[in-house]
A = this chain, B = another copy of it.
Amino acid sequence: MKPRILITNDDGIHSEGIAALESAMNEIGEVFVVAPESEMSGASHSLTLGRPLRIRQIDEHHWTVDGTPTDCVTLAVNRILANGKLPDICVSGINHGANLGDDATYSGTVAGAMEATILGVPGLAFSLVATRSHDFTESARIAADVTRKALAEGIPEWTLLNVNVPKGTPKGIRVTRQGFKEAKPVISEHIDPRGKPYYWIGEVREGFRAAGGTDFEAIDEGYVSITPMRTDLTNHGALEGMKNWEN
């Protein structure tokens, strides 16, 4: 039996990254693409609760949703694919741009994999660390390798894998921890045609501590970074020291 592979992303169904990921996954199993109609970068793990959602079926294997990556995965698992067998794995991406350090917490790509994990489907997020290059060849190859390994060996419980692939040909793979970004966001002020100010939050890719063992360090040195991430946000190490907060 071919594995059933759910594909989503946050750049939208028409992006080059999801096409590259789908091509790679077609070699491995039966794919089901459920992706946002339009770009959803920065969507994080947001779920659309305040308005209805539309599902548009394109063909037997492709659907769009006018919502976030999290909406796509919950609709895929609980509705679109709910009559058949659940997917064996969910892959999200390939994002055009890095999801490293704290930025992972804003990422719709990572959130797609997180939602799958919460729903009991192993989740993998793939990102290409590039701003100009749109060459997804190497990142699609890495996505195929990592997905094959995850299907064969499984991944840790309640854990998704956040995979970032550097530009060019990677030197190898490193298992990493989430690093820290040092850059502040750039908020630019502009004036609209009516003379009123508006603000735009800029994405900052530069400025990080390439501390030992982090995702930033691996990418900086030309390696693929795989960070296992939990859906349990608890700082378990802090529980004991906070006993004096109880009463």
Contact = CB atoms under 8 A, between A and B. Distances in A.
Interface string A216-246: 0000000000111111111111110111011
B235 A230 contact: yes
A104 B231 CA distance: 10
A114 interface: yes
A79 interface: yes
Contact of A159 (B52, B159, B238): B238
A181 B246 CA distance: 24
Interface stretch (A88-96, A133-141, A196-204): A196-204
A147 interface: no
User: Oligomeric state, in number of copies?
Assistant: 2
Contacts of A173: 245-247
A239 B228 contact: yes
A3 interface: no
Interface in A45-67: 45-50, 52-55
Contacts of A74: 185, 187, 201
Interface of A: 39, 41-50, 52-55, 68, 70-71, 74-75, 78-79, 102, 104-106, 108, 111, 114, 118-119, 146, 149, 156, 159, 162, 172-175, 177-178, 184-185, 187, 189-190, 196-201, 203, 213, 226-239, 241-243, 245-247
15 contacts: A41-B49, A42-B48, A42-B50, A44-B44, A45-B105, A54-B196, A55-B197, A75-B199, A105-B114, A105-B233, A149-B245, A156-B237, A156-B241, A177-B239, A227-B233
10 tightest CB-CB pairs across the interface, nearest first?
A44-B45, A52-B198, A229-B233, A44-B46, A44-B44, A156-B238, A228-B238, A42-B49, A42-B47, A177-B234
